[in-house]
Structure 1
Amino acid sequence: MFLAVAQSLNFAQAAVSLGLGQPTVSQHIRKFEQAVGRPLLVRDTRSVILTVDGEAMVVDAGAADPARFSASEPLCHFGSDGVPGGSVAAAY
């Protein structure tokens, strides 16, 4: 999910590519940032940009196994309690 937003730099476009609603994507990204402990994206009313940490996360995700990640796959799966499944390191 994070990679979909990072690639499009647009929550609505990422949501469409994932087949989800934009509020769901926003909520998952917010919870993922909380789990990581730092902001990965800077949002305002007109744009989304990656932070330095967000850029590093994208690079790390691609370096881990590029074939494993695509914009249509969530970077991290969240349980019903909103906590990422597995460790954050395993998520990327």
Structure 2
Amino acid sequence: MKQMLSGFFSLMLAGWILYTIAPESPCERVERGALPVRIAFEGVRWAGRYYLSTETRIDLLSWSLDADAATQSFIARLFYGPTLNCKA
């Protein structure tokens, strides 16, 4: 079971890397690179949709937007330097 899960994780990681580096546009690469953060927050919001108050869900949405922007900024600075401007 452990070997099957590690194989699945390796396959998902390789797929995500290929998906991320496929486009020619650096801005699209940065956006695709932050996909795991968006998926994680979407999963948390989905899991708590019946258990969290409306105010908490709005806060969680705000945090997810901030985390996505911070992740994209980090990836852009890490791979393309401070000169990449993807804000359109």
Same fold (TM over 0.5): no
Larger radius of gyration: 2
- Structure with a larger share of its residues in helix: 2
TM-score normalised by structure 2 residue count: 0.25
TM-score normalised by structure 1 residue count: 0.24
- Structure with a larger share of its residues in strand: 1
